[in-house]
Structure 1
Amino acid sequence: MKSLVFLGCLTLFSVGVHAQNGSITIEQDPKIDELLKVYASVNSKAEFYQIQVGFGSYQKAQNLKTRIDQDFPGWHSKIEFESPTYRVRLGKFKTKLEAERKLLEVRQKYPDAFLLKPEKKERK
């Protein structure tokens, strides 16, 4: 008898419970998109220090970049071509102090690394 009552309650409960469908609408101020464009524009023109770790042929630069990415994960690294060689550069440091501190860390593994000053970009 108890199981019959329990089964009846369970049936009534399961009929009463059902999933609800819904949707979410996000309304965003159009000025946010404008601000994001301005932010991206300013950051693309930002001057920053970099550390040059090495240079050479494309293959040598690729191998060096692979080792750097393993030694300094999470740091920005890239290969840049400046005739006649490929240069491996590390980091985007906003202040000279920060860059010099990171340079000391990098030189422990790459003693020939040196600091590059930010290039002066023409402002419009």
Structure 2
Amino acid sequence: MKFQHKVKIFSISFLILLYSEVSTAQSGTVTVNQDPKIEQLLSLKKSLEKENKLTDGYTIQLYYGELNRANSVIKKYRASYGTWPASIEYETPNYKVWVGNFATRLEADRALLEIQKIFPSAFPLKPERRKEPK
């Protein structure tokens, strides 16, 4: 008797489950209206991140000193590597050559191993975010 009772309960549960799946299934479409300026903002954000202006990440410093030498260092770097972006940053009264925009110290250290083959005095640093005047 218990077995028959379990079979009835299982059968009823199965039918209820089957019916609920059929009756609750829905379909539809979603339309997203997006301002065209969003694409412009995303591309601007990407370019600022490449220039290391938005992130609190790490960079590698190749040189610190006068402008002529900084220009020659960045030219030598660009001739040797194209993997990471390079820039010359000014900090009174000296110029710095910075390479890359790395999210973690581990990424910066991996790149550093490669860069130090040509620039042995290179070192990683975490630049402070510049504060824009209000």
What range describes the TM-score normalised by the shorter chain of this pair? 0.5 to 0.7
Partner of 2:38: 34
Partner of 2:119: 110
Question: 1:54, CA displacement in angstroms?
Answer: 0.9
Residue 64 of structure 1 pairs with residue 73 of structure 2: yes
Question: 1:119, CA displacement in angstroms?
Answer: 2.1
The share of aligned pairs that are identical, in percent, is 31
Question: 1:71, CA displacement in angstroms?
Answer: 1.0
Structure 1 contact 69–75 (Cα < 8 Å) conserved: no
Residue 95 of structure 1 pairs with residue 104 of structure 2: yes
Partner of 1:49: 58
Structure 2 contact 55–129 (Cα < 8 Å) conserved: no
Structure 2 contact 59–108 (Cα < 8 Å) conserved: yes
In the alignment of these two chains, the number of paired residues is: 95
Equivalent positions of 1:3-14 (< 5 A) are none
Q: Take 2:114 and 2:57, find their aligned partners in 1: how far apart are those partners?
A: 18
Q: Take 1:76 and 1:102, find their aligned partners in 2: how far apart are those partners?
A: 12
Alignment counterpart, residue 77 of structure 1, candidates 71, 82, 86: 86
Q: Residue 121 of structure 2 aligns to a residue in which SS?
A: coil
1:37 alignment partner AA: L
- Calculate the TM-score normalised by the size of structure 2: 0.60
The 4+ residue runs of structure 1 with deviation greater than 4 A are 41-44
Question: 1:35, CA displacement in angstroms?
Answer: 6.0
Q: Take 2:89 and 2:130, find their aligned partners in 1: how far apart are those partners?
A: 17
The Cα RMSD (Å) is 2.7
